[in-house]
Amino acid sequence: MKEQEYDSLKAFLDEKVEAYNRPDFITNDPVSIPHRFTSKQDIEITAFWTAILSWGRRATIINKSTELFKRMDNAPYDFILNHNEADLKGFLDFKHRTFNATDTLYFIEFFKCYYYSHNTLEDAFTGGSQDVHMETILINFHRLFFSMPVYPERTRKHIATPERNSACKRINMFLRWMVRNDDAGVDFGLWKKLKPSQLICPCDLHVGRVARKLGLITRRQTDWRTAVELTSHLKKLDPDDPVKYDFALFGLGIEEQF
């Protein structure tokens, strides 16, 4: 793509970012779930879990996430740290697509062990370093998430990793929520150790389709290498905050059927 073409594309996508990166975007999007909470830990837990459940219709994702956290009395951090065995019976019939009670109980156990010794989920991604490539960050997080002495093998499919060449769309979306910090009010910007420039654009079939039409992707499949390719092109539009264009690509794909 020639420099003049990048300039034209940037003007077009910047306009779309302005259209979709705004508070009224929140209402019908899964990001509305963590926006219901105020404490850092509640936001982290609900954002991560909602992101992992984010496949299918947005309305269904919001409804199932609402149901899940209602079972925790809408106090997930307190529930995770202070629940007893009897309290866990309330999750035995929870299911969203292939995410079932086994997965739910493991998530609760992981968060319980993790938050007993950490104040923020950010540490699970940074590991004390701010300058590691995102591919390494996500691989290390996946290994940490399944570092418990016993874990259900079936749950591994719900936490993506570049080691399997996954595009890692849901975790990249979660990281966008936590790291990006602007005045629009959609993303939270709670985490400061990671920089927006390190993020990888969430890439699913809709975003990939739009990106290919715009010449931002040449690869036909949607995998980790594709997400990296997309992000590298978006960095030419904004090197400091390339993932802001997720709003534009998503809006064009879902809202405008581009």
Task: Give the pLDDT of the chain (258 residues) as one tens digit per residue.
Answer: 677 778 899 999 999 999 999 999 999 999 999 999 999 999 999 999 999 999 999 999 999 999 999 999 999 999 999 999 999 999 999 999 999 999 999 999 999 999 999 999 999 999 866 568 999 999 999 999 999 999 999 999 999 999 999 999 999 999 999 999 999 999 999 999 999 999 999 999 999 999 999 999 999 999 999 999 999 999 999 999 999 999 999 999 988 877
* 3-class SS of residue 96: strand
Q: Nearest 5°: phi and psi at 96?
A: -135, 110
Helix (H, G, I), strand (E, B) or coil at 211: helix
Structure token digits, residue 93: 């019939």
DSSP conformation class of 219: -
Eight-state DSSP code of residue 93: T
- pLDDT score of 129: 60
Within 8 A by CB and 6+ apart from 11, the residues are none
**Can you give the pLDDT at residue 191?**
97
On whether the CB atoms of residues 33 and 17 are closer than 8 A, the answer is no
β-partners of residue 96 are 99
Report the candidate in 125, 239, 133, 238 with the shortest Cα–Cα distance to residue 175: 125
Number of other CB atoms surrounding residue 40 within 10 Å: 17
Q: In 3-state terms, what secondary structure has residue 99?
A: strand
Classify residue 7 by burial, with Cβ atoms within 10 Å: 0-12, 13-18, 19+. Answer: exposed
pLDDT at residue 158, rounded to an integer: 98
- 238-242 long-range Cβ contacts below 8 angstroms, 24+ apart: 238/10, 239/197, 240/196, 240/197, 241/180, 241/182, 241/196, 241/197, 242/196, 242/197, 242/199, 242/201
Host H or E run for residue 88: none
- Retrieve residue 252's tokens: 């064009």
pTM > 0.85: yes or no: yes
58: Cβ contacts below 8 Å, ≥ 6 apart: 28, 29, 30
Query: For residue 193, what is the DSSP state?
Result: S
- Cα atoms in the Cβ-side hemisphere of radius 13 Å centred on 180: 24
